[in-house]
Chain A
Amino acid sequence: MQRIRRIIIGILCLVPILILGDVHSSLLLTEADYEIESQQEEPALSSSLASKEEWESYNEWHCYPIAAVELTCIEIDYGSRRRTPTIVATSNTEHYEYDLDPTFNWDCEFTLKEWRGLLNNSSQVCFFGAYLQSLGEKESLWVLSQIKSENGYWKEYESEAYRYARRKHEDFESEGQEGSEM
């Protein structure tokens, strides 16, 4: 009787955990996904070679229930101010923020549209990113490389958003001074 009571209490404790996302288990990831994670020969991020403080960071898979994930735009100042896409995932009251590489001039709305399409009707999502730094107590910043949902993958360098970010400047019409052939 005592044992059955313990099992019932255990199940009751587990339900909110599963709902709120305190512990997430993912069936999304396959052997191949884990291999990508475990077979990284070089870090995804590292300190500058001139830096006195040497560090490296490797990509890791993190998975969350879709309800714990928010897709949004933030403003960054990377030489000039611009809106860039980011993902905030919450777990155990901790916030995990996944930014894209600011080297590329991401179009926030375009990227979010692509991400929303990937996440549509998926109950879980996994992010493949590397830890960069703390943003405060219980807040950390990661640099995102891939997303996986029940609908498939989003891979940074293969994405339409990446191509769009690069293409945006192709049609750039400058205010430069036009001159005649010298």
Chain B
Amino acid sequence: MEKRNIQQKTTGKKKRRKKLHPLFGPLHPWRECPIGQHWVRPHLRVGTKGVKGFCRNNSSGRDQIYVPEIKKITENEFGNLKGPPCSYDLGFSDGNEYDLLIRGWAKYWNEIFQPTDPLDPDLVKALVATESGFRSNIKKRAGKRAGWARGLLQVTDWTQEILQDEEGELGDHLVNVDQQDMFEPSANLAAGIRWLFRKRETASTKLKRQATWEEAIADYKSYLSDMKKGKIPRSMKDLRTFYERLKEKCKESVE
């Protein structure tokens, strides 16, 4: 055993980052922290002093995004984005309310995963229409295993657990959200779209080929086996209708 003089003048021990190792850079330009760390936003210790924001190692060492950073990205990065989804309300009172968030999170996850055919934000908007009708606080029973489905993309309790499971099927790019967060539109879309990318992987495995985004949505809705048998459930028909309407409407406005 070794003795240790423990009371050091440690405040000088902060070391400056010498250079950014390729693996120590950001995962995405919008992210606050190097890969493997999460953002802890500035906060208040009531009665003492404000605490500055900082990056901290993740328990998993992998990419994990938490709600404070989801909010920060939403506030700082989404405002100036342009492009789809089409600004057409599809007949819903809040139909255009979440376009900015859909655009932002579709872009973010497309840039993380870089699929050869990126996820179309119009398809996400059509999915929101079928899942929740753009009602961010909706909650439905999703079954014994799935628990409750919540918010815009009806993210289930079961999905939400998988999204943050460090030992689970996602492997990387975890989204640390809780059930309450799922009523917050930006967190719900960040989590739901991440899950849609996972569903494309699972659909591809089931189909033994690269699944289309529509097939990924069918798996998201647990309708992939019906679709394989040639059955088109109503929710999938609605999805197609909404998607076509968005495409037509924005084509018209361009013309």
Chain B residues with CB under 8 A of A26: 3-4, 6
Chain B residues with CB under 8 A of A48: 32-33, 39, 53-55
Chain A residues with CB under 8 A of B253: none
- Count, chain A residues at interface, CB 8 A: 66
- Establish whether residues B235 and A131, one from each chain, have CB atoms under 8 Å apart when the complex forms: no
Contact of B178 among A76, A126, A169 (CB under 8 A): A169
Residue B56 CB within 8 A of the other chain: yes
- Establish whether residues A74 and B138, one from each chain, have CB atoms under 8 Å apart when the complex forms: no
Chain B residues with CB under 8 A of A78: 41, 43, 68
From A1-9, A51-59, A111-119, give the one contacting chain B: A51-59
Cβ of B25 to closest chain A Cβ, rounded Å: 7
Residue B114 CB within 8 A of the other chain: no
Chain B residues with CB under 8 A of A46: 17, 33-34, 37, 54-55
From B7-15, B80-88, B196-204, B208-216, give the one contacting chain A: B7-15
Residue A180 CB within 8 A of the other chain: yes
- Establish whether residues A91 and B55, one from each chain, have CB atoms under 8 Å apart when the complex forms: no
Assembly CA distance A77 to B50 (angstroms): 9
Assembly CA distance A166 to B174 (angstroms): 15
Which A-chain residue is minimally distant from B44 (CB atoms)?
A: A77
From B98-106, B116-124, B127-135, B243-251, give the one contacting chain A: B127-135
- Establish whether residues B16 and A63, one from each chain, have CB atoms under 8 Å apart when the complex forms: no
Residue B113 CB within 8 A of the other chain: no
Instruction: With a 10 A CB-CB cut-off, give which of A46, A63, A101 has the most chain B CB atoms.
Output: A46
Residue B51 CB within 8 A of the other chain: yes
Which A-chain residue is minimally distant from B40 (CB atoms)?
A: A103
Residue B26 CB within 8 A of the other chain: yes
Contact of B46 among A43, A45, A76 (CB under 8 A): A76
Cβ of A130 to closest chain B Cβ, rounded Å: 8
Chain B residues with CB under 8 A of A136: 49
Contact of A43 among B15, B41, B132, B178 (CB under 8 A): B15
Residue A140 CB within 8 A of the other chain: yes
Q: How large is the interface on B (under 10, 10 to 19, 20 to 34, 35 or more residues)?
A: 35 or more
Residue A39 CB within 8 A of the other chain: no
Residue B47 CB within 8 A of the other chain: yes
Contact of B59 among A135, A140, A157, A179 (CB under 8 A): A157
Chain B residues with CB under 8 A of A13: none
Residue B150 CB within 8 A of the other chain: yes
Cβ of A33 to closest chain B Cβ, rounded Å: 9
A58-B15, A76-B45, A135-B49 known; A49-B140 Cβ under 8 A:
no
Residue A15 CB within 8 A of the other chain: no
Assembly CA distance A168 to B148 (angstroms): 16
Q: Which residues of chain B have a CB within 8 Å of any CB of chain A?
A: 1-8, 10-11, 13-17, 24-26, 31-34, 36-41, 43-49, 51-57, 59, 66-68, 130-133, 135, 137-141, 148, 150-151, 157, 161, 164, 176, 178-180, 183, 235, 238
A-B contact pairs, 6 of them (CB 8 A): A25-B3, A43-B15, A45-B54, A46-B37, A56-B14, A78-B68
A48-B39, A102-B43, A178-B139 given; 16 more Cβ-contact pairs under 8 Å: A26-B4, A46-B34, A48-B54, A49-B33, A54-B16, A55-B14, A58-B15, A60-B8, A81-B46, A103-B66, A131-B13, A170-B179, A174-B139, A174-B150, A176-B150, A182-B238
A-B CB proximity, top 8 nearest:
A176-B139, A169-B178, A157-B59, A75-B46, A77-B44, A63-B6, A172-B179, A78-B43
